[in-house]
Amino acid sequence: MNAIAGGGTLLTFPALIAAGLSPLAANATSTVALVPGALPSMVGYRRELAGARRWAIALTVPSVLGGALGAWLLLHTPGATFGQVVPWLVLGATALFVTQRPLLRWARRHHTTTLDEDAVTAAGPTRTLLAWQFVVGIYGGYFGAGVGILMLAALGFMGFSNLHRMNGLKNWGGFCMNMVASVTFAFSGIVDWPVALTMMAAAMAGGFLGSKGAQRVPQQYVRFAVMLVGTVSGIWLLMRTR
């Protein structure tokens, strides 16, 4: 799912809650379980990352720091409070998923530089983008659904137009924040490890198959399924809090 259209968290998180996990445990378990599935995608974009090594290195620090802070905030959020916030996080992430393409087109039209993409790549990220990446990292460590869309929009706003290079940087930033969040959750005692390990195996297989079949499966069908599940799940979670 993530390899083809993204939005995997919008499916796994509500499913874990429906299976009986608390919102906090479901969030932590989902984050830990989906990290290995990002590795095949990282390998697929290694050339794009090599061509934007300066950006990848610069984005690492705010991604890691933001992800660590977001994970810490989650662990210090009362379970009842997080349960009240969760429906809005799911619905908000679904809205981001729905508006991903218009948002990316807007960002490209309003990018703040007149340089071509090669010059943008050579110049490296601005302090504003690094600050934004830190904020995105906090959200990524705290919940994470839709975080890639926020990164793609920022890269488009900075002048990137090569979607493969943008996806490579997005995947790297997301991997960094999710990895540090996963390590934090792993030592917190709230991860359901039998479920997480089962999901890890499925995520790695799905990431490999998705990277191979991404061109064969019509994205609009997968995107519609994610949007439908995200909307229904958000409404269901909202009704559970009443």
Residue 127 lies in a domain: yes
What distances in angstroms separate CA 138 from CA 71, 144, 160, one per listed residue?
A: 8, 9, 23
Q: Is the pLDDT of residue 114 over 50?
A: no
CB 233 within 8 A of CB 86: no
Residue 3 lies in a domain: no
Q: H helices within the chain, ranges in order?
A: 9-18, 23-34, 38-44, 46-51, 53-75, 79-98, 100-109, 117-123, 127-142, 147-157, 163-186, 193-213, 219-240
CA 202/CA 100 separation, integer angstroms? 26
pLDDT score, position 181:
96
Residue 2 lies in a domain: no
115-159 tens-digit pLDDT: 455 665 666 678 888 999 999 999 999 998 778 878 887 887 777
Domain of residue 150, residue span: 9-240
**Residue with more model confidence, 220 or 12:** 12
Total tally of structural domains belonging to the chain = 1
Residue 207 lies in a domain: yes
Residue 93 lies in a domain: yes
Q: Is the pLDDT of residue 242 over 90?
A: no
- Average pLDDT of 163-168? 79
43-53 tens-digit pLDDT: 777 777 777 88
Residue 235 lies in a domain: yes
